Amino acid sequence: MNYLAHLHLAQCSQTSLSGALLGEYVRGAIDTRLTARLQEGVWLHRRIDSFTDAHPLHAGAVRALPSPFRRYGGIIMDMMFDHFLARHWSRYHALPLREFIDYAHAQLIPDEHWPTAMKTLVERMQHYQLLASYQTLDGISLAIARIDHRFRRPTPLPHCGPLLQEHYADMEQAFLDFYPDLMTFAIAEVSQHQASSHNEYK
């Protein structure tokens, strides 16, 4: 999943929003020097990504993409699922999307644990209102196109607009069927993780 979903799931599971984004940048073993809240956020981020990648609805949507886009299908679907979350936001959260974004921005306060790339991301997210832009197909298409710059060689991502329109209805239905499963999974995982951690210290 992408930024909006990770932040939403962090808030729903009452875990760290900063930890949810930090999971994008932490590789390998989770640094035990991080606060317990940040460690839990990184852990949940990884659990969410693993669940998503293995889920038949997400995997099926990726397989439905034609070559050469299928190679980047995980990226495309993660971004499109953020788009559909933004579009159908009122189904999944009591706060209006604009208020949630303001809340998320207020929670994302840089500290010494943040890598430079994460600080830059949050600055851009706030300055350009990236999360709000995900509500429109043009906005999410532009966000997908910008990912091309992360690769050493050109990708087809800047040219995926017609593909998104063609597969839009199927992608949307996949998201609507999938996201309640992901919400249930994330909340249950955190509950079990916290119960397990509590028992360790008895």
Q: Give the other-Cβ count within 10 Å of 153's Cβ.
A: 5
Cβ-contact 101, 125 below 8 angstroms: no
Exposed, middle or buried: residue 141 (CB in 10 Å: 0-12, 13-18, 19+)? buried
pLDDT for 193: 83
pLDDT for 201: 45
* Cα distance between residue 157 and residue 71, in whole Å: 10
Q: Is the pTM higher than 0.85?
A: yes
Residues of the chain with pLDDT under 50: 201-202
Q: Show Cβ contacts of residue 82 under 8 Å, excluding neighbours closer than 6 positions.
A: 1, 2, 3, 4, 5, 134, 140
